Amino acid sequence: MKGFGRCLKGMLAPMASVSAMNAVFFGVYTSVLQSIDDDLETPKITSTYVAGTVSGVLAGLISGPTELIKCRLQVSAGTGREKKTNYDILRKILKTDGYMGLGRGLGVTVTRGSCVLRHLLRYV
């Protein structure tokens, strides 16, 4: 698989987590906002900041492992070795690093999610 097709390799894992991430994004955001601000029509900027950060961090915890699997699949697609699946990559991570291996790169994913979400949800 060459060129653009390599970018599509490994997309099954992130696509499977999208519904869970969106449920967390909007469910947690709304719950946190309701618990810290009385006026939901025009919430304070600090309330939207806190709610967006909390929901972004929790959604990042869901998307981090799936993004890791996707990236590993995309990198392995260019090596010319045997074809790998999402499950092959997951087994290799668990075998070599254990469950903590799924957290590799999680800090960046969580930071990205919290920063983007807290600013975007302000305008929703």
DSSP string of 22-60? HHHHHHHHHHHHHHH-S-SSS--HHHHHHHHHHHHHHHH
What pTM value is reported for the model? 0.67
Q: In 3D, which of 3, 55, 49 has the Cα closest to residue 31?
A: 55
For 16-73, write each residue's pLDDT tens digit: 778 888 888 888 988 999 999 988 888 888 888 888 888 888 888 888 888 888 888 8
- Of 32, 27, 20, nearest to 61 (Cα)? 20
User: What is the C-alpha to C-alpha distance for residues 27 and 30, in angstroms, rounded to an integer?
Assistant: 5
Separation between Cα atoms, residue 41 and residue 124, nearest integer Å: 11
User: What token pair was written down for 44?
Assistant: 């304070």
